């Protein structure tokens, strides 16, 4: 089915909005803006970036600060995520069944490739790294647990997207800001949709310097017992360590690892 055909079908069966979702979305939007530029935005800059009236932004920020979800520095009055939010996030990652189940498989993947491996889960149209293991090489990706990356330009993001059913995939693609990060980034819904069809067919996603120059990644989706994509595992390396032989090896191993994690996840949860 083509992207335009999916669009027509999705529009015909579009769901109604959940009551209260708009208000909640405003808080999440402000949190995301702060998370994307921690310690760099004061209230004037924040009001320019947030798509809400100035008074609304002031009230949202005040409420977030009162709950400890956002803090303001004394130097310049810039904002960053607060300790309560970070504590909640850390608790989530520590207690994650997926992270616990995947750890041994991630270690095996790291040992077999001697490259950085990541485990990521979807969050608000992004992927969040919940685990990372590195190889012995001195040159590594500058990523960290808790870091967020976009769906359309990364192997973990494209892998997760490829596991979605067509209708849900279309909804997500429509909601994405397909920002260009490099000359190779997919920036149109049609091109991204075609790329995800290829990803499905081959069982892994390939980030060919689409998110940052000189870095290539291969990722594969992890599925729950019900067949829902719940995350992705990836291998990342600099371009100079990637060739046809390594590509074939890493593609096979990342597919295998994702299948093993999915199988174990289905048995335990």
Round to whole Å and give the CA distance between 262 and 98.
9
Secondary structure (3-state) at 261: helix
- The per-residue pLDDT for range 211-269, each reduced to its tens digit, is 999 999 999 999 998 999 999 999 999 999 999 999 999 999 999 999 999 999 888 75
Architecture of domain 96-268: 2-Layer Sandwich (3.30)
Q: List C-alpha distances in Å: 10 to 4, 13, 15, 110, 157.
A: 10, 5, 9, 40, 22
**214 near 153, Cβ under 8 Å?**
no
Is pLDDT above 60 for 13?
no
In sequence order, the 6+-apart residues with CB closer than 8 A to the CB of 241 are 115, 137, 139
* Three-state secondary structure call for residue 25: helix
C-alpha pair distances (Å), 118 with each of 128, 134, 267: 10, 9, 22
Residue predicted with more confidence, 228 or 147: 228
* DSSP code for 195: H
Euclidean distance between CA atoms 87 and 67, whole angstroms: 13
Q: Bigger pLDDT: 142 or 185? A: 185
Decide if pLDDT at 113 tops 70: yes
Q: What is the mean pLDDT of residues 93-108?
A: 83
pLDDT for 10 beyond 70: no
What's the pLDDT band for 191 if we cut at 50, 70, 90?
very high
Beta carbons of 81 and 31 less than 8 angstroms apart = yes
CB 219 within 8 A of CB 205: yes
- Summarised one tens digit per residue, pLDDT across range 174-189 is 999 999 999 999 999 9
Instruction: Give the mean model confidence (pLDDT) for residues 70-94.
Output: 74
H helix runs in the chain, sequence order: 3-12, 21-36, 43-49, 54-66, 83-95, 97-113, 155-162, 166-175, 189-202, 244-268
pLDDT attached to residue 88: 72
Fold of 3-82: Arc Repressor Mutant, subunit A (1.10.10)
Q: Residue 259: its pLDDT value, please?
A: 98
Phi-psi group of 124: left, alpha or beta (phi > 0 → left; psi -120 to 50 → alpha; rest → beta): left
- The per-residue pLDDT of the chain, averaged, comes to 88
> Which of 70-74, 79-83, 235-239 has the highest mean predicted lDDT (pLDDT)?
235-239
pLDDT at residue number 86: 65
Domain residue spans in the chain? Answer: 3-82, 96-268
> How confident is the model over 105-122, as a mean pLDDT?
96
pLDDT at 147: 85
Torsion angles phi and psi, residue 243, rounded to 5: -145, -175
Q: Mean of the pLDDT values across residues 100-129?
A: 94
The answer to whether residue 74 scores a pLDDT higher than 80 is: no
Inform me whether the pLDDT recorded for 16 exceeds 60. Answer: no
Residue 52 has pLDDT above 80, yes or no: yes
Express as a percent the part of the chain with pLDDT over 70: 87
What is the C-alpha separation between 195 and 205, in angstroms, rounded?
9
Describe the strand order of the beta sheet including 205-208 as a list of residue ranges.
148-150, 126-133, 116-123, 229-238, 215-223, 205-208
Residue 94 has pLDDT above 70, yes or no: no
């Amino acid at each position: 089915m083509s992207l335009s055909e999916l669009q027509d079908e999705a529009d015909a069966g579009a769901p109604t909005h959940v009551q209260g979702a708009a208000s909640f979305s405003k808080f999440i939007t402000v949190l995301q803006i702060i998370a994307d530029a921690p310690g760099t935005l004061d209230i004037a800059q924040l009001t320019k970036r947030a798509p809400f009236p100035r008074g609304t932004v002031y009230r949202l920020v005040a409420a977030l600060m009162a709950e400890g979800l956002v803090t303001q520095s004394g130097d310049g009055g810039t904002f960053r995520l607060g300790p309560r939010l970070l504590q909640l996030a850390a608790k989530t990652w520590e207690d994650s069944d997926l992270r616990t189940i995947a750890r041994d498989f991630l270690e095996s993947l790291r040992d077999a490739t001697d490259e950085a491996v990541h485990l990521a889960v979807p969050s608000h149209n992004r992927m969040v790294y919940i685990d990372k293991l590195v190889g012995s090489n001195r040159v590594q990706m500058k990523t960290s647990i808790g870091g967020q990356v976009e769906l359309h330009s990364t192997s973990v993001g494209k892998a997760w997207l490829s596991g979605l059913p067509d209708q849900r995939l279309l909804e997500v693609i429509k909601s994405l800001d397909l920002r260009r990060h490099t000359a190779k980034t997919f920036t149109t819904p049609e091109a991204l949709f075609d790329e995800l069809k290829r990803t499905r067919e081959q069982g892994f996603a390939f980030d060919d310097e689409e998110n940052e120059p000189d870095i290539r990644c291969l990722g594969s989706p992890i599925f729950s017992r019900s067949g829902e994509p719940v995350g992705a595992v990836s291998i990342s390396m600099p371009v100079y360590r990637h060739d046809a032989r390594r590509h074939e090896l890493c593609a096979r191993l990342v597919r295998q690892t994702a299948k093993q994690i999915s199988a174990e996840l289905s048995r335990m949860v």
